[in-house]
Amino acid sequence: MELYTQRLILRRWNENDAENLFEYAKDPDVGPIAGWPPHKSVSESLEVIKNILCCSACFAICLKPRNLAIGCIELKLNGTTDMTDRDDECELGFWLGKKFWGQGIMSEAGAEIIRYGFENLQMKKIWCAYYDGNLKSKRVQEKLGFVYHSTCDSVPVPLMNETRIGHKNVLTRELWEENFLHNPPLTPCGE
């Protein structure tokens, strides 16, 4: 399964992506702000591919034409998210290698994965969240049409052994159809 945008290929992760994953996931500015520690080795990245990035709606973000992974985007379906227990709702999660920040890549990938979620998976709502201080994630979510839902002052972040403030946003199918279906938020000049 592959999805395509003007500049990107969204495809399943494979074991050959381990070196690329490590290249971007070892950066201390990438994982910790999203709630996971930097990767320490290519073998750790390989284990993450095999055991975490293996869900049916988890995609490597790749630039055309080289098709090398530079980030990840996922729709976490019922059973893999704590944001909903409904089969017609899911959670959007994403991260991108730092050298690709500010180029509109995440907005482009997000618009396509949201389309996939609503049209192909027949979702009614897509949830998304960010930890307090992650303004880049907040901004991408706003560009994709997510609206504020709630804030929790004590969200457990088990991989980082801490508790954080978390902000939860939602995008309904109706709002997406009304505002974004025929006008996706592509921003190639910057996030």
**Fold of the domain spanning 2-179:** Aminopeptidase (3.40.630)
Contact in structure between 52 and 13 (CB atoms under 8 Å): no
**Does the reported pTM lie above 0.85?**
yes
Question: Which has the closest alpha carbon to 109: 84, 143, 86, 82?
Answer: 143
Say how far apart CA 105 and CA 61 lie, in whole Å.
9
pLDDT tens digit sequence for 79-99: 888 899 999 999 999 999 999
pLDDT tens digit sequence for 11-32: 999 999 999 999 999 999 999 9
pLDDT tens digit sequence for 127-148: 999 999 999 999 999 999 999 9
Q: Which is more confident, 185 or 23?
A: 23
Q: Which residue has the tokens 């990245």?
A: 45
- Give the residue extent of every domain in the chain: 2-179
Residue 122 has which token pair?
Answer: 């027949």
